[in-house]
Amino acid sequence: MRNTVIKNIESRFQSILDIMENIETKLLTQQLDIAKSKSVGEHMWCIVGARESYSRSLCKGVWDGFSCSLESDDNLEEIINALNSSKMLFEQSIKAVDNWTQARDELLVSLLEYETMHEGQLIRHIYGLGYKLPDSTKWA
């Protein structure tokens, strides 16, 4: 089961990267006219931070708090670089774990839930603004 969860996390990583590689930069800051709307860039800050935080926590074996290295949520190149580096950090963390525990498995599932939730929000946000998504986006 763990391998399936990891595979699905990696699929979510790729889908979000595909979205970001195919959007117009102006979409990063556009808001929907609804309460508590986050921009695409704000979602990216959350996603990158979660990947970094869960990767660190996987190595420690327990939740270690949230932090994000992404300095700008309106710079598409920086966001794409951060998505790629956080993906590599996750892959390194998975390889570094030599003692899989229930706590680590729960962290994996939580990361999958987090990625999936934000991917769905991104899809609705981008559609809500009247834009299209790449064909590779599974849920769109």
Q: In the prediction, which pLDDT does 140 show?
A: 63
* Domain residue ranges of the chain, discontinuous segments joined by +: 39-132
pLDDT at position 49 over 70: yes
Cβ atoms within 10 Å, residue 124: 13
pLDDT at position 103 over 90: yes
Question: What percent of the chain stands above pLDDT 70?
Answer: 99
Q: In the prediction, which pLDDT does 136 show?
A: 82
Query: What integer is the mean pLDDT of 98-119?
Result: 96
CA of residue 112 relative to chain centroid, distance: 9
- Cβ contact 19:118 at 8 Å: no
How far, in Å, CA of 30 to CA of 40, rounded? Answer: 7
Consecutive H or E run containing 35 = none
Query: What integer is the mean pLDDT of 30-39?
Result: 90
130: left (phi over 0), alpha (psi -120 to 50) or beta: left
Query: What integer is the mean pLDDT of 54-79?
Result: 96
pTM metric for this prediction: 0.94
Where do runs of H (alpha helix) occur along the chain?
2-21, 40-60, 76-96, 102-128
